[in-house]
A and B are shown apart, each in its own frame.
Chain A
Amino acid sequence: KQEVTQIPAALSVPEGENLVLNCSFTDSAIYNLQWFRQDPGKGLTSLLLIQSSQREQTSGRLNASLDKSSGRSTLYIAASQPGDSATYLCAVDDYKLSFGAGTTVTVRA
């Protein structure tokens, strides 16, 4: 059974600081890994998808890396802004998504 862990559970940083969010998973037989953002009480917004053959994916200030052999992914958010405050979830796809519990980020103005 796939287990996904996200560390830390919560993070508070001043505006402008870079964010590093970690995700680990137990079974490396995955098709892809997806990072999502969730605002309180809302649905999930897809941020980045990394296919199993890729090592990283970038979109604007966001960069995500994937190391399947070690079962790890990292999401980097450069120059954080108060609007980045949300819960960030990673999910591994082996024909269904298995999610971590998320990292709740607060960016202080």
Chain B
Amino acid sequence: DAGVTQSPTHLIKTRGQQVTLRCSPKSGHDTVSWYQQALGQGPQFIFQYYEEEERQRGNFPDRFSGHQFPNYSSELNVNALLLGDSALYLCASSPGLESTSYEQYFGPGTRLTVT
């Protein structure tokens, strides 16, 4: 059973560019959340997708957007990149609201460096 997968592993972009990160959830999971982890800090919640809709959003600007596909995979898009967007981007999946367990499983992350 494959766990949560993310691509790419590493990415280097220039200020002002746009980036797309991808995530495939664990088998049987239909809810995907995205987190940003700056160096030395805990992850910060960006947003969560369920049934192809954004259900919740953290304190991130509109430059951060996402999408969930019918197969539950998800993309995170960041426009007009800033140096401060350099971080490890983590994707987590969990069973849907019908489940009694809300345990979240994380992928290996995508390391984004903005120069």
List A residues at the B interface (Cβ < 8 Å).
4, 31-32, 34, 36, 41-46, 49, 89, 91, 93, 95-102
Contacts and interface: CB of A to CB of B under 8 A. Distances in A.
Interface of B: 4, 33, 35, 40-45, 48, 55-56, 58, 88, 90, 92, 101-109, 111
Given A34-B103, A49-B101, A101-B42, 14 more contacts: A31-B102, A34-B104, A42-B108, A43-B107, A43-B108, A44-B90, A44-B92, A46-B106, A49-B102, A95-B48, A99-B35, A99-B43, A101-B40, A101-B41
Contacts of A89: 42-43
A96 B103 contact: no
A101 B40 CA distance: 7
Contacts of A4: 42
B42 A96 contact: no
A35 B83 CA distance: 30
Nearest to B45: A96
Contacts of B4: 43
Interface of A, secondary structure class, is strand
Nearest to A104: B40
Nearest to B46: A96
7 contacts: A32-B103, A41-B88, A43-B109, A46-B104, A93-B104, A97-B104, A101-B41
A42 to B, nearest CB: 6
Given A49-B101, A101-B41, A96 B33 contact: yes
